[in-house]
Amino acid sequence: MIKRYRYGQPISTDTIVKSIPICDENIAFFQLENKEKMTFTYTMDDNDIIYGLGENMRGINKRGFTYISRCMDGAKHTEDRNSLYAAHNFFIIDGKKQLGVFFDAAGIVSYDIGETEIDQLIITCDDNDFDIYLIEGDNLKDIAKQFRQLIGQSYIPPKWALGYHQSRWMYKTEDDFRNIVKQYQENQIPLDAIYLDIDYMEDYESFTINRENLPHFEELVQEFKEQGVHMVPIIDAGIKVKEGYHVYDEGVKQNRFCKDKDGKNFKCGVWPGYCHFVDVLNEDNRHWFGDQYQFLLDKGIDGIWNDMNEPSIFYTDERLNEAYSLVDELRDSELNLFTYFKMRGQFSKLSSNPKDYQLFYHDINGQKVRHDKVHNLYGYNLTRAAGEAFERFSPEKRILLFSRGSMIGMHRYSGIWTGDNLAWWSHLKLCIQQMPNINLCGFLYSGGDLGGFGSDTNEELLMRWVQFGIFTPLMRNHSQSQRAQELYAFKHTEIFKNMIEIRYAFIPYLYSELVKAALSDESYFRPLAFDYEDDKQARLIEDQLMVGEAIMIAPIYEQNGRGRFVYLPENMKLIRMRSLSDYDEIELEKGNHYIHVGFNEMIFFIKPNHIVPFAKPALTTRDMNFDELYVLGYVQDEIEYTLYDDDGYTRDINQPEHFHKIYASKEYCDCKTKKVQYR
């Protein structure tokens, strides 16, 4: 049951797809206080758990900290960060009462979940215009599903998007790209995509190609495509201010950019220097921006990542002038404790400064709206522009799309990656904990940069990240570190190869579970509590996840870890894999276990009366045979598993012939439409 409460006159966010009547009662369960800002409070029971809020810092249970929905670029994801790149305003209270809560707001919302007062959940909205949805249901899964039905079906990527992807902010020339792909092929490590970061552009101008480094770009795309490898270019939000640059010229001429208070095109600094932002909150401009992607699709591109669309601002003249004045003032003085830190602070406040988001305006259906009031809609609509354009330009084939900035609603057009993490063990753990909450907010196709984006990784950290990444729909190794992070750049290339082969082998299961989750508005990654609600211990587990209907994972995320405690909420079968031909199957009883996991091993658990179908890996998903499947199972009774499979790119997804029933008992397994056999 969903109830909708309205406050003020909210701007339409396009987050929901179902119309729910507005309820004229006072809001239930929460206390509303009309302070300077509207504040809603809820008293939490000691055992209450709060799931959700999507991409954020800290644990699966969000209690104990304040999270602010303000899409924001920031290189260091430290524990004290209140905001990352997303505005995911949905959470579920699980405890004395089970309740789903969605703040449908375009502006900034903060959630103090027991930080100020341990039992108080305090939600504050910067503006007074928003809708709140309260969802009651039979259980956690039911509440989560009702919410997903409200916001519409999640984006489904093409099948090749589940392959292994290699990226790095450094590849520049055609030889660089050829060399990387060749090394993967020579080492026989599967690879489906290689990424183009900002250096492929001319002067960091979106929708251009640097012809000096990539004179035969179109041929290169084709050459890789023939090998089954996709090139995936980045697109940045900021449009360089430069006469002669076609996007700039046309944008100015057609009046596509956000305006400052005087009605001039708003200007700020990002990678290329001064930039304008396209006013994508206006439908016509969104369409125009989407049209720009045709430039890349025409060159054979079928995957894009959208970046810097929070939107990220490095500086504005206003902020620079403040900093320069301070420098002038202090130039000839001896810096002391106060002046030294003041100067440092002034420069660190240059980027992502909230004041800069008050300097520009959107035209929403003729209404002039200051950006900070609708800040969180920006990244969503920039990526939506691409998603809508792909439907126009590629009506049959799905295009890979994921974005850094995001808000609920965007999940219908795109996936997300978790941005600039670091090669820290704590960030591997964070990535594990982010996944189920990101799923709850509708983003199923997601993952973090394997090995860490910033600072140097090491072989063990990357290995453990890859072993977890086997299960994340987006499995991309991306970095800007000094140290090479490609899998062949380490001593145990063979072990990495085994792990990537395991990933590829599982694609039938992973793809099936991902698509089914999207079609049925369910989560692909879930906290244990969603499957074992009455199990007190399962509710407290922060480092194990359910993946699809059959698997539970318990990743290793600690330095020098060669094992870990695992809680089994019921009897399960442990699979400990070194390679596809070398693994153990061990039946374990419900309860606590210590499981040894060597550096060269990945583990997972199969639930009773479940199976995991897999295929023979190949060097690309294109070269795999998805009609000949093997099965790992933990089956006592006769069971039936519904495998989803299609050609991997059709947009016409929900067809009866895409669903294949696999029947399994302890001794045999069978399927009418595919060849299946037990391993």
If the CB atoms of residues 453 and 532 are measured against ligand GLC, the closer one turns out to be 453
Q: Closest separation between CB of residue 136 and ligand GLC, Å?
A: 38
Nearer to ligand GLC, 478 or 607 (CB): 478
Q: How far is the CB of 75 from ligand GLC (least distance, A)?
A: 7
Number of residues that bind ligand GLC (CB under 6 A): 11
d(CA 387, CA 603): 36
Q: How far is the CB of 72 from ligand GLC (least distance, A)?
A: 12
Inter-residue contact 181 to 188 (CB < 8 Å): no
Does position 415 interact with ligand GLC (CB under 6 A)? The reply is no
**Is 197 a binder of ligand GLC (CB under 6 A)?**
yes
When the beta carbons of 275 and 629 are compared against ligand GLC, the nearer one is: 275
Contacts of 138 (CB under 8 A, 6+ apart): none
Tell which one of 77, 373, 384, 404 touches ligand GLC (CB under 6 A): 404
Residue 361 beta carbon to ligand GLC: minimum distance, rounded to whole angstroms? 26
**Footprint (CB under 6 A) of ligand GLC, residues 650-679:** none
Q: How far is CA 548 from CA 75, 98, 446, 607, in A?
A: 32, 23, 14, 11
Residue 104 burial (10 A CB sphere; 0-12, 13-18, 19+): buried
Q: How many whole angstroms separate alpha carbon 613 and alpha carbon 393?
A: 34
Burial 55-85 (b: 16+ CB within 10 A, else e): bbbbbbbbbebbbbbbbbbbeebeeebbbbb
Q: Which of 238, 379, 419, 451 binds ligand GLC (CB under 6 A)?
A: 419
Of 158 and 238, the one with the shorter C-beta distance to ligand GLC is 238
Q: Which two tokens stand for residue 33?
A: 């206080």
Count of residues making up the chain: 679
- In the bound complex, what is the minimum distance in angstroms from residue 403's beta carbon to ligand GLC? 11
CB closer to ligand GLC out of 170 and 369 = 170
Residue 204 CB, nearest distance to ligand GLC (Å)?
8
Under the binding rule (CB under 6 A), the answer on residue 55 touching ligand GLC is no
Nearest in space to 121 (alpha carbons), one of 22, 212, 45, 38: 45
Q: Residues 299 to 318: which contact ligand GLC by CB under 6 A?
A: 307
The residue (of 230 and 478) whose beta carbon lies closer to ligand GLC is 478
Report the DSSP pairing between strands 164-166 and 659-664.
Answer: unpaired
The distance of closest approach from Cβ of residue 457 to ligand GLC in the complex, given in angstroms and rounded to an integer, is 15
Beta carbon of residue 213, minimum distance to ligand GLC (angstroms, whole number): 15
Task: Give me the residue whose beta carbon is nearest to ligand GLC.
Answer: 169
In the complex, the smallest distance separating the C-beta of residue 504 from ligand GLC, rounded to whole angstroms, is 24
Q: Residue 168 Cβ, how far from ligand GLC at the closest point, in Å? A: 8
Q: Are 16 and 36 in contact (CB under 8 A)?
A: no
Query: Residue 380 in contact with residue 404, Cβ under 8 Å?
Result: no
| Distance (Å) of CA 67 to CA 56, 111, 417, 535 | 7, 5, 19, 28
Name, in order, each residue with C-beta under 8 angstroms of 248's C-beta and a sequence gap of 6 or more: 205, 239, 240, 241, 242, 276
The tokens describing 194, both together, are 């290689």
Least distance in angstroms from the C-beta of 422 to ligand GLC: 12
By CB under 6 A, is residue 165 in contact with ligand GLC?
no
* Span 218-237, contacts to ligand GLC by CB under 6 A: 234
CA distance to 305, 454, 455, per residue, from 478 (Å): 12, 9, 12
Q: Strand pairing of 591-596 and 563-568?
A: antiparallel
535 token code pair = 């199990």
Q: Is 198 in the site for ligand GLC (CB under 6 A)?
A: yes
Q: Determine the Cα–Cα distance for residues 408 and 152; give it in Å rounded to an integer.
A: 10
The minimum distance between CB 271 and ligand GLC, in angstroms, equals 7
Unique residue bearing structure tokens 């000094």:
482
* C-beta closer to ligand GLC: residue 316 or 421: 421
CB of 676 to ligand GLC, least distance (A): 40
Element (H, E) at 342: helix 337-348
What's the token pair of residue 568? Answer: 């089994």
Distance CA 97, CA 116 (A): 22
Q: Where are the alpha helices (DSSP H) in 455-595?
A: 459-469, 493-519, 536-540
Among 126, 420, 521, 601, binds ligand GLC (CB under 6 A): 420
* Least CB distance to ligand GLC at residue 76 (A): 12
Residue among 6, 23, 142, 169 that touches ligand GLC (CB under 6 A): 169
Judged by beta carbon, residue 204 or residue 490, the one nearer ligand GLC is 204
Q: Shortest approach of ligand GLC to residue 273 CB, angstroms?
A: 15
Residue with smaller CB distance to ligand GLC, 314 or 511: 314
Task: Give the separation between CA 201 and CA 213, rounded to whole angstroms.
Answer: 9
- 472 versus 523: smaller Cβ distance to ligand GLC: 472
322's enclosing H/E stretch is helix 317-330
Residue 419 corresponds to which tokens in the numbers above?
A: 């941005």
Between 174-186 and 217-226, two packed helices, what is the crossing angle to 10 degrees?
10
Does residue 193 contact residue 230 with C-beta atoms inside 8 Å?
yes
> Cα angle vertex 84, ends 322, 258, to 5°?
55
- Interaction mask 458-487, ligand GLC, x per CB under 6 A: --------------------x-x-------
Residues that bind ligand GLC (CB under 6 A): 169, 197-198, 234, 307, 404, 419-420, 453, 478, 480
